[in-house]
Structure 1
């Protein structure tokens, strides 16, 4: 059985991606930081569908913990799947924070950088020895890094996501010798728990977001999760080094 690692899968896009990947017959190791109950919900949903999943804690902003995380992954691969490698990695863990350019602090900039850019870089580096040749990686970026998604207040967040898109291309270039494909997805506005459940706290912003979207609604986690699962799958075997906007035509 093939196995995927999905970071930040206790809710939202990561939860959807984990479930969609499992529905294709792939085992899933999913991570959470604070929301253990959400991660266990994800595991339960996968098991209800007949799949296999394990939840492990991971702080994507603390790279010094990554070697210990790799040991946990190796143990789970041995114990659950009798394997010493995994096939797919989804670098999805993240958080959103906005501030006008002049109000962005170094602390906020550094926190976003650690989780959104340094985290995927060094987590991938740490896990690469356990990854099977011929596998695939998907990085969750954002249309905040594209001209279609430019909104005031996201200069730091969008900069980190833009860096992740560039990193995706370098990973694709260097990992191609092992047959590993690397792509990114750039979601538009999606109904998740990002920015402390902003959409639940400020539902009045949703109609304006929907009006800016060609397909006329806010994105749902499954809109992105299905795309991530598809990019890992055989039908996308000839796609690498691409960033795919998944936004329903935001600002089209």
Structure 2
């Protein structure tokens, strides 16, 4: 029996990942920031698959809360599973959005930095002593940060942070290899999620007319769904991914191919 921590699992890719892991026999500690109802929905879906779920609140943009969160994880592991380690970590929490380079403020830049790069960096550092040898980490990046990805105006800050996450993935894979811990990233293309921008606007709800345009740019003819990404993450964490590390897998259906 394995236990995974899925960060940002109250909707979208994180929610799908938690359920896909449960279908493969993994119990889940899932985190949420403001969407408690979504987190409870995810927990119920995990339990419907016959697995155990614990939902914990976490704001990835506030690193000062990480020691207390680690204490909650220790308690959950001890009380729920009678163990002191977990097996998998999925760094998924984040927010989207765009601003042209000349309009990007230091405040917005710093928010992207806190949530998309500094948060995953120091949360992983905080949880690393609890991660079992032979475990695995998956960081959720973006194809906007890939050299093969479509360069779109307005993503300079967002893509910069995701690019940093990609570098972190490779370096951590090297550093953690002596413990048998694998570290990979997935880079989704346009995916139908409820991820919001810095102002709280949910892109696909606010701009449904963008969906046909994005689908037309995708080789497989549609935009991604959360399960398209969640299945890949679960596979990377599982036995099928045991010989894969330091990789960044684009999961975009051939976006801009």
Q: Which residue of 2 aligns with 1:173?
A: 174
CA offsets 1:206-227 (integer angstroms, 9 cap, x no match): 0000000000001000000000
Q: Which residue of 2 aligns with 1:223?
A: 228
Q: Which residue of 2 aligns with 1:132?
A: 132
CA offsets 1:161-219 (integer angstroms, 9 cap, x no match): 01000000011000001000000000000000123321011110100000000000010
1:58 offset after TM fit, Å? Answer: 0.3
Q: Which residue of 2 aligns with 1:115?
A: 115
TM-score, normalised on structure 2? 0.97
Q: How many residues align?
A: 252
Separation in structure 2 between the aligned mates of residue 193 and residue 161 of structure 1, nearest angstrom: 19
Larger deviation: 197-206 or 144-153?
Answer: 144-153
1:96 offset after TM fit, Å? Answer: 0.7
Larger deviation: 196-205 or 54-63?
Answer: 196-205
Separation in structure 1 between the aligned mates of residue 231 and residue 217 of structure 2, nearest angstrom: 23
Separation in structure 1 between the aligned mates of residue 205 and residue 248 of structure 2, nearest angstrom: 29
Separation in structure 2 between the aligned mates of residue 228 and residue 76 of structure 1, nearest angstrom: 23
Separation in structure 2 between the aligned mates of residue 110 and residue 16 of structure 1, nearest angstrom: 28
Alignment of 1:138-217 (within 5 A): 138-146=138-146, 147-195=148-196, 196-217=201-222
Alignment of 1:1-252 (within 5 A): 1-146=1-146, 147-195=148-196, 196-252=201-257
| Partners of 1:149 and 1:251 within 8 A in 2 | yes
Separation in structure 2 between the aligned mates of residue 36 and residue 232 of structure 1, nearest angstrom: 26
Unpaired stretches in structure 1, ≥5 consecutive residues: none
| Partners of 1:185 and 1:246 within 8 A in 2 | yes
Separation in structure 2 between the aligned mates of residue 168 and residue 2 of structure 1, nearest angstrom: 22
Unpaired stretches in structure 2, ≥5 consecutive residues: none
Separation in structure 2 between the aligned mates of residue 76 and residue 149 of structure 1, nearest angstrom: 42
Moved over 6 A (4+): none
1:149 offset after TM fit, Å? Answer: 3.0
- What is the SS of the residue equivalent to 1:194? coil
TM-score, normalised on structure 1? 0.99
1:148 offset after TM fit, Å? Answer: 1.7
Larger deviation: 181-190 or 194-203?
Answer: 194-203
Higher helix share: 1
RMSD, matched Cα: 0.7
